[in-house]
Structure 1
């Protein structure tokens, strides 16, 4: 508790630098990462992250100092050249983008390692700590680093706000953007530049190895919670900021723990929880939805069977034995019993000593399923010209998802039909 109070009081200058730097890094990279993710260029961030290392080394060799602005400038140049190289290779050869990314990543990173090794053996005393660009040094950020972070973060956020509409159109409908006269190529260069800036500003905190995670993971997590881009940007920034604060806190309470990797680990944990428990797109909600759909289909099939048996007499009020239903459709007996029990609890069927009987409510629901099945069969034969013996399976699936609006439209399109393709009455 003492560590918690001391950390969040931000009385220590180092705590302020590390926390604010981590927040600026994580939130600004996450915003740019949203556009990169939506353009399906997630691996580009990894390529740029590895490609900035030779730029950092060259900037140090030429300047002889570790001034963060000079190092960031060198990182920006080689990072931007790496993206230009990827686009050039993809456009001018038969090599696909993923191969070009792997090629550029390995070549630039290899050159960076060679230059870093040469610097370490040069005897230059100022090179101490330069290797931190490989794995980050968030826990040792100083005021000069923070100023650089703040300038780049503000630049990224302001540019995103100004060009929000253009970047959105570029991500979702590039062809339409060209049609209405947007400078698509310039917009692509702008997004490329923003991506490079986001990577460059982050390598000092988490290093070239982990920077791709900071760019893409918050955006991927946010994507599971919303379909609206503006909300996705806000969520990604908040996830990134929270990860930055949490990573700095863990590093403060456990000094042996590096800040950068903990930031990545926390944002990855948030992403995993999002993948699992997001309300609409998480795999848990998908499993629950599939289970609900399976239950609904079983219940409607049972009501449909009971209604069809009633059509034969016709007598919809007659009790039906379970074996009568199972003879007409191959449903596991255990599932059928459970389905009938649920229908009884919902008031659709009644349990009598002589069998199961449709209630008036159940009769109406069963009648609707039969009607939708036969309407769809008729639609397929009349509009798609399918043979009448080839439409049953398709109707078995579609009957459970047709909305009342679509049902009414089908009836009108088919001119209020009375018989289906098999000469059965449409109720």
Structure 2
């Protein structure tokens, strides 16, 4: 006999204290896949996730293909029932300067209904939402499940393609739930249906064989920092619109994002103007953006009275859905080479790129998801939204599993501060996410079982 919606809701409510306790144990593990960090913590994190999945009755293994460990847990489908892949990642961003945190980044603390810790929202709560749904069904799981928890998403997913190819048949599913996005607001769920891609590149200018005296040669020699600054400024026009030819962008995002809400959520200071043209949602979802992520230069306290011979910047480009990251890199490289001033030598190199994606948000899988979200949030209609950030491997899933429904969901809200200091999880919303995922599995079974 299948479990009713009311039974599942009641079960989730009973499970939440244990789910939270396990989430807190996970976030105490500083599993950072970046170079220079102790990767034994990533191993510990993978082992902890594997233990959780085994506790749900899944046949579980830890896998790797040249990178950090991922976890795959499987439970076969009942006869005729579909299989659902549940994705999340167990690695986290570096915490950064501890002084910017109100509490220890890796010791979870509750304040005003939010749980503060690195990874509390991104994405260990995603892992635990999957675990909560599995625990709610116990031995009565109505669908087959594959849980795939990656170990280096924050570091670029370098080995992900190899893992997927090596375990292709194990991962093959009818519905793929990617729990690494967010909701439109507290009290308003969302399904992510488009994401921008990513191009990271370096631009380096050279003007001298070595640094020289600024008094002896300044006024004649164009120093490298001045030259680099002038070159970077050509990437935008006076309104802040991207000024590189050949980049694709489009209009049409239908969700209203009030300017005052955006300014508050972004933390913009009073008097600072927004840049670009078009609606806010167009600018952050469906148009390209270019940002200066860092500059190699002497610090102000160490700077001598000398003209710098070389200067280097890291540029981050968010690629609009529908554009090609390779073509974007070529367009920006051509622009920088053509616009460098005073005959300075310039070198542009690619660091990494990732594809944007647009997801077809129709069909029985989406009907199951929207119904689950409406029920979990008490009748509130979910929003179809874009994301300005990038999850390039979604395009890989689209290519390798063309018949699967891909649902991009998540536990974050606009105040979660993922990747920043004081990252947090809204505990009330987290419980609704767990309810929604549980009801999603029930709905998929009812709608898609043959």
- For normalisation by structure 1, the TM-score amounts to 0.24
Larger radius of gyration: 1
Richer in helix (by share)? 1
Q: Which one has more relative contact order, counting CA pairs under 8 Å at least 6 apart?
A: 2
